[in-house]
Structure 1
Amino acid sequence: MPADCYVHPATPLPPRGLIERAERLSTSLISDVFGRWAGAPGILPITGLAAGQVVAGPALTVRTRPGDNLVVHKALDVARPGEVLVVAAGGTMERATLGGLMGQYARTKGLAALVVDGAVRDRSDLEAAAPPVFAVGVSQLGPYKDGPGDLRCPVSLAGVVIEDGDLVVGDECGIAVIPRHRAEDVIAAAEAKRVAEEAESRAIAEGTWDREWIDRSLRIHDVPAVAAAESRTRGDFS
């Protein structure tokens, strides 16, 4: 009997200029300006990402039964160029959600990246023929193809809620997610922080980096040398 697959309406694609701006940022910058929680911990680059490369695109969300990829195949069929396939697979490492052939097909569809909250396989094939892949890890065990699942629905990856069309940014540190209705504001804030950090980098190189804020943030208590030695002897580190 065919399995159920609920397909929600697709969201409009964002302007290409917005994506290009995101590709010049890092996930760290985005996280810093967006409450320091925008990332999905544990989902890391597996293949296809060059040193310093950043990928970005609107999410094509998929919810599937852990260990099953039937609806992931359907998602690839309906994918639009520039989208990032985002698969909520329960974080399981028992079976790979996709592998080399699906990765190759994803490239022909023009996907910007593949993000899986779970395992993938065929690392070398993915490296050779797929868009950049982010996942929890690698497993040689293949998936079932029974369903069910949903497409373009809200999903949760590592505790981060992602809706179809949200902006997904990936780099060597993992992925960050920006709600589509806040993308312009968050990207602008990250751009401003990048400029500020570039100024700090120049100050470090010139030996002028302001460190006074550290002491302003701490209440320093100097411990007398004799008391410190006695404390170490007693093993008192409280």
Structure 2
Amino acid sequence: MDADHTAPAGPFAALTTAHVADACLRAGVAVRCAPAAVRPVLAGRRLAGRVRPARHAGSVDVFLEAIDRAEPGDVLVVDDGGRTDRACVGDLVAWEARAAGLAGLVVWGAHRDTADLTVVGLPVFSLGATASGPLELDPRPAGALDAARVGPWTVDGGDLVLADDDGVLFVPADRAGELFDLAGSIRDTERRQADRIRAGRSLRAQVGFDDYLTARAADPTLTFRAHLRAVGGAIEE
């Protein structure tokens, strides 16, 4: 029970959700970020894994069934319709997920047992905490273990979920290798730019900002993003 859940293994370990989101933009992949209100219960927690969806209807049995079907490293993605008037997961679900080897939980809804979740240590991202659990039991929806909705996005086992202090991002599993490679290139470019700023060369000089202003004056349709692509800057993507 002493495993470190703050830094996921694999290609995402040296990246951030911001790097991967920029890679999605550059690769023409939809940038599917959870709403900004979905935050980590504990700052500094990161996770990456395949989506293991579960739609909540008032009972934890759907979570236990999803965990029973999960593979080690999966992420339990809970759809409670974005409700914050009740908590749908707490420490027992987190302990069960951790014991089964899951990487963490993303909850489109609220959690409780915050102090106990701190002890569990598993990364949990949610819309916040509330003391009340479900007060009603609704009929279990069809396909409750097939897909989950998080904000505007519907995700399933064909997706990976990545999460850190910048938020939660979903990417198609079959594009992950390409996106991680591109994200690594963007990260490296940004690091070089930061090093040069610290060494005294401004970002404006690095990206030829004066040249951009001159070119834009001649062609008002020229965007800074197009200019950055031409000069190999990262910044916006």
On whether the aligned pair clears a TM of 0.5, the verdict is: yes
**TM-score normalised according to structure 1 size:** 0.75
| Corresponding residue of 2:178 | 185
**SS at 2:71 equivalent:** coil
Deviation at 1:89, TM superposition (A): 1.1
Q: Deviations over 1:109-149 (max 9, x none)?
A: 11101000000000011110151100011111012555404
Letter in 2 for 1:123: T
Any residues of structure 2 matched to 1:95-110 within 5 Å, and which?
95-110=86-101
Hey, what's the Cα distance between the residues in 2 that align with 1:175 and 1:210? 28
Letter in 2 for 1:62: A
Task: Check the 8 A contact 1:70/1:147 in 2, yes or no.
Answer: no
Question: Which residue of the other structure, out of 183, 187, 208, is the alignment partner of 2:201?
Answer: 208
Question: Which residue of the other structure, out of 102, 112, 127, is the alignment partner of 1:121?
Answer: 112
Unpaired runs of at least 5, structure 2: 1-7, 218-237
Deviation at 1:210, TM superposition (A): 3.4
Task: Check the 8 A contact 2:17/2:166 in 1, yes or no.
Answer: yes
Task: Check the 8 A contact 1:60/1:165 in 2, yes or no.
Answer: no
Any residues of structure 2 matched to 1:10-159 within 5 Å, and which?
20-35=10-25, 37-41=31-35, 42-47=37-42, 51=44, 53-65=45-57, 67-143=58-134, 144=136, 147-149=139-141, 150-159=143-152
| Corresponding residue of 1:234 | none
Letter in 2 for 1:63: R
Hey, what's the Cα distance between the residues in 1 that align with 2:65 and 2:121? 17
Task: Check the 8 A contact 2:62/2:145 in 1, yes or no.
Answer: no
Hey, what's the Cα distance between the residues in 1 that align with 2:11 and 2:159? 15
Task: Check the 8 A contact 1:75/1:151 in 2, yes or no.
Answer: no
**SS at 1:110 equivalent:** coil
Larger radius of gyration: 1
Hey, what's the Cα distance between the residues in 2 that align with 1:74 and 1:145? 17
Hey, what's the Cα distance between the residues in 1 that align with 2:32 and 2:192? 24
How many equivalent residue pairs? 198
**TM-score normalised according to structure 2 size:** 0.75
**SS at 2:84 equivalent:** coil
Task: Check the 8 A contact 1:19/1:57 in 2, yes or no.
Answer: no
Task: Check the 8 A contact 2:63/2:93 in 1, yes or no.
Answer: no
Task: Check the 8 A contact 1:117/1:136 in 2, yes or no.
Answer: yes
| Corresponding residue of 1:173 | 166
Distance 1:206 1:45, change over 3 A: same
- 92-101 or 150-159, which deviates more: 150-159
Identity %: 32
Hey, what's the Cα distance between the residues in 2 that align with 1:59 and 1:23? 18
Hey, what's the Cα distance between the residues in 1 that align with 2:9 and 2:51? 12
**SS at 1:199 equivalent:** helix
Distance 1:147 1:100, change over 3 A: farther
Q: Deviations over 1:212-237 (max 9, x none)?
A: 54452576xxxxxxxxxxxxxxxxxx
